[in-house]
Amino acid sequence: MLKLEGDIRIPAGCAIAAVLNRSGQRFDGSTIIASIATMHKRSNGLGGGFAAYGVYPQYRDHYALHIFYDDAGAQQMCERYLMHHFRITEREPVPVRYTRKIARAPLIWRYFALPREDSLSRQQLGEEDFVAAVVMTINSDLGGAYVVSSGRNMAAFKGEGYPEDIGEFFRLEEYQAYLWTAHGRFPTNTPGWWGGAHPFTLLNWSVVHNGEISSYSTNRRYLEMYGYKISLQTDTEVIAYAFDFLMRKEGLSLEDAIDVIAAPFWSKLDRERQARLRRRYASLLLNGPFSIIVATNNGLIAVNDRIKLRPLVAASRNEYLYVASEEAAIRAVAPVLDRTWSPGGGEPVIGLLHNQEGLLEAPSTGLETNARSA
Amino acid sequence: MAVFDAVNYDHYSLLQALQLSPDEEVEVLNLNGQRYLGCGWKNSKRLVLHGTAGNNLGAFADGPTILLYGNGQEGVGNTMSDGEIIVYGRVGDIAGYGMRGGGLYIRDNAGYRLGIHMKAYQDKSPVIVVGGQAGAFVGEYMAGGTIIVLGLNGRHNTPTGPYCGTGMYAGEIYIRGEVPEKHRADNSKTELLHGEADLQGILPYLRRFAAHFSYDMDYILAEPFTRLTAVNKRIFSQMYAGFMG
């Protein structure tokens, strides 16, 4: 897989967008493509991608593993490893539409799989920990194989190209989902390549991100102490693992997790709870400018760095919640809105399905922050 | 008056068509995210926009009057020198960035860093009036001019976020209502002002705002204002002093 940037650099900034139907009604991928395409000028063709929730109801209990392979050898090696650990119900290439706009695509396959009982008991791991460990092993130890997504009833579709072209390539108009997120990439510090496109995922988590994580090395070293292997050459990867660690492994509420990654300045902390979290998880503060959308099967949160160095707009209309880097990306698919607002720094926009209380099964509490909407 | 439907143009050709139009008044319909509208215009034309304007609306503008019926995004009035921008809606972050002249009137809310590094220059003194709330860092590094935040849509007790006036060394920020201590930068001082007598200096701006958006002046003046100014004009003068031999 080519891991070098293009020769031409175009000044721009990344773009992010999401559309959620809070009732869980599904709609096809043309909406999110139209939304992200409005922000074409923010990316430079070196990365685009989508996360989609609710796309595989026929396999809702299976882990849907989407995997990139550099070549048939890598595929053979990886599949041998997968067979060893999973019962694979279905195995197929991800359907794509070849166009002139998308070049150098890897082999792209998907597997609907369940962990083998004997593997689980041998490893003494819970099912999700087991799947997470397999993903880490493939990404870091099996050369030429990269897990794109590994959740249930969700998938990530991403690659090197403008997001609208990636959407066309992956035939997203043929998928139905109740939650879509999207990203148009303008790589700054790290290479543009298929695995480095957003979203970054682990289990049901997906993250799209505009900005830079200048604390990447600190965050990375901390996460590696807990078994996360950082292998995709992009800072956003640590955000996905940070949420997985804080909320799934440590059991933090969403409110607490936000206060870890986008903590107010020490001088502005006015509650012991925030100070305790800041001390306990100092190495998971995400420093630097960012706007991110983090999604699971239950919904999404969108949040800025604590001093809001990247744009972010949210809007709602009936059952729909929209989030994007620019309001135009929302108006493109929903000209009439009930409410439009800019969240303040560190102040999350939370969108959950009606029957859910948090991003994971543990309920989150109401939020109260120093940040201000405008 | 020339009327353009943005749907019929790609981004660049729309900007060119507007630029080349000989008409004194130009109207654009169905905008959605087109950047650089009115950018660098050095004339006294009237540009009437409908829809969501893209980033850097009126950047470097030097004279035109721009009316936006809809919302703006980031960088409205970026480095503008003269003219007036009137937004019948809200705007995103860094509105009035480095602004050095003219007026920016916003009916609803403004995002973060309103008027960052705006400055006065010779006979020019820019003004921003926001009818709703503004995010954090209002007037960051401000070097001149006037920022007024009215909070007329009253969702919060104070209409600005924290870090108001951070790094500011000249200019004036007026906030309708009071600014809590914790929202103010260290280098700022505040005075509470009441009614027309105290607010003489900004009455023309308030009247203009009231006229643009049909507000009653008595209603605007019914609350006291807080004026925030810099204490030390050279706030960074000691910054590296300790490191010198």
CATH number at residue B202: 2.160.20.60
* Single pTM value for the model: 0.92
Q: What CA–CA distance (Å, rounded) separates A67 from A75?
A: 9
CB atoms within 10 A of CB A293: 29
Q: CB of A243 within 8 A of CB of A207?
A: yes
CA A45, distance to chain mean position in Å, is 19
Interface of A with B in 251-280 (CB under 8 A): 268
A12: chain B residues, CB-CB within 8 Å: none
Q: Residues B94, B78: contact at Cβ < 8 Å?
A: yes
A78 in catalytic set = no
Q: Is residue B193 part of a domain?
A: yes
Residue B225 lies in a domain: yes
Domains of chain A: 15-252+287-352 (3.60.20.10)
Please give the residue range of the domain that contains residue B215.
2-233
Of B245 and B143, more confident? B143
Q: Tell me, letter by letter, the H, E, C secondary structure of chain A.
A: CCCCCCCCCCCCCCEEEEEEECCCCCEECHHHHHHHHCCHHHCCCCCEEEEEECCCHHHCCCEEEEEEECCHHHHHHHHHHHHHHEEEEEEEECCCCCCCCCCCCCEEEEEEEEECHHHHHHHCCCHHHHHHHHHHHHHHHCCCEEEEECCECEEEEEECCCHHHHHHHCCHHHCEECEEEEEECCCCCCCCCCCCCCCEEECCEEEEEEECCCCHHHHHHHHHCCCCCCCCCCCHHHHHHHHHHHHHHCCCCHHHHHHHHCCCCHHHCCCHHHHHHHHHCHHHCCCCCEEEEEEECCEEEEEECCCCCCCCEEEEECCEEEEECCHHHHHCCCCCCCEEECCCCCCCEEEECCCCCCCCCCCCCCCCCCCCCC
Q: Do A327 and B73 touch (CB under 8 A)?
A: yes
Mutate to test the interface with A, among B32, B128, B156, B166 (most CBs of A within 10 A): B32
| Residue at B100 is within a domain | yes
Which pLDDT value is given to residue B235? 67
Residue of B32, B111, B133 lying closest to A328 (CB–CB):
B32
Residue at B241 is within a domain:
no
Q: Which tokens in the block code for residue A279?
A: 């001390």
Residue B144 lies in a domain: yes
- Identify whether B239 is part of a domain: no
For B134, the closest chain A residue by CA position comes to A374
Q: Is residue B131 part of a domain?
A: yes
Per-position pLDDT tens, chain A of length 374: 444 444 544 445 799 999 999 999 999 999 999 999 999 999 999 999 999 999 999 999 999 999 999 999 999 999 999 999 999 999 999 999 999 999 889 999 999 999 999 999 998 889 999 999 999 999 999 989 999 999 999 999 999 999 999 999 999 999 999 999 999 998 877 778 899 999 999 999 999 999 989 999 999 999 999 999 998 888 899 999 999 999 999 999 999 999 999 988 888 777 889 999 999 999 999 999 999 999 999 999 999 998 999 999 999 999 999 999 999 999 999 999 999 999 999 999 999 999 998 999 754 344 434 444 44
Chain segment B74-86, per-residue pLDDT in tens: 999 999 999 999 9
Q: What is the mean pLDDT of chain B?
A: 93
**B245 is a domain residue:** no
Number of structural domains chain B divides into: 1
Contact A307 B134 (CB under 8 A): no
Q: Do A371 and B156 touch (CB under 8 A)?
A: no
Task: Of A315, A108, A140, A286, give the one whose Cα is nearest residue A209.
Answer: A286
Is residue B243 very low, low, confident or very high in pLDDT (cuts 50, 70, 90)?
low
Tokens 């503004």, residue located: B134
- Any idea which residue has 């991003």 for tokens? A359
User: Given this model, what pLDDT does residue B121 score?
Assistant: 87
Give residue A232's pLDDT: 84
Per-residue pLDDT reduced to its tens digit, B180-219? 888 888 888 999 999 999 999 999 999 999 999 999 999 9
If interface means Cβ-Cβ distance under 8 Å, which residues of chain B face chain A?
Answer: 11, 32-33, 35, 51-52, 54-55, 71, 73-74, 90, 92-93, 109-112, 132-137, 155-156, 160-163, 182
